């Protein structure tokens, strides 16, 4: 996920968590980098803002190749570690009440996901 501070990345993740049936409340993982939640699928919520000038690998592969859904705020900061198949989401602020979301599928699986969303 990409989008300026305050664009709505964490808020979007809260909605995703709700859809997955996560009972705990989702809060920003800015200081912990990653938070894990249990839902119908595990949810791994990462905020890698603090890794902008670092090439630290906190074990991304295990999350990305695991059975859960990984959501990454400021994903371009860990571009080298991102999986080849993914859904890029760009959120921008329009006004206090509205946001624009752009979805870009990378790889055939997420092309399918996007088509399902459009139906």
117 contributes a contact to ligand ADP by CB under 6 A: no
Map the footprint of Mg ion across residues 20-59, applying CB under 5 A: 28
10 binds Mg ion per the rule CB under 5 A: yes
The tally of CA atoms less than 13 A away on the side-chain side of residue 105 is 12
Report the distance separating Cα 6 and Cα 21, nearest Å.
25
- From 4-12, 17-25, 34-42, 110-118, give the range in contact with ligand ADP by CB under 6 A: 4-12
CB of 108 to ligand ADP, least distance (A): 29
Site string for ligand ADP, 56-95 (x = CB under 6 A): -----------------x----------------------
Binding test (CB under 6 A) with ligand ADP, winner from 10, 37, 78, 81: 10
Coil vs helix vs strand at 96: coil
User: Applying CB under 6 A, does 35 fall inside the site for ligand ADP?
Assistant: no
- Residue nearest ligand ADP by beta-carbon distance: 8
Rounded Cα–Cα distance for residues 79 and 1 (Å): 11
């Amino acid at each position: 996920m990409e989008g300026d501070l305050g664009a709505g990345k964490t808020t979007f993740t809260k909605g995703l968590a709700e859809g997955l049936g996560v009972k705990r409340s989702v809060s920003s993982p800015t200081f912990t980098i990653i938070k894990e939640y249990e839902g119908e699928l595990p949810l791994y919520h990462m905020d890698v803002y603090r890794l902008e000038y670092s090439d630290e690998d906190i074990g991304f592969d295990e999350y990305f190749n695991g059975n859960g859904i990984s959501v990454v705020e400021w994903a371009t900061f860990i571009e080298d570690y991102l999986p080849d198949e993914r859904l890029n989401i760009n959120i921008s602020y329009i006004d206090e009440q509205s946001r624009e979301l752009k979805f870009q599928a990378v790889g055939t699986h997420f092309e399918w996901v996007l088509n399902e969303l459009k139906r």
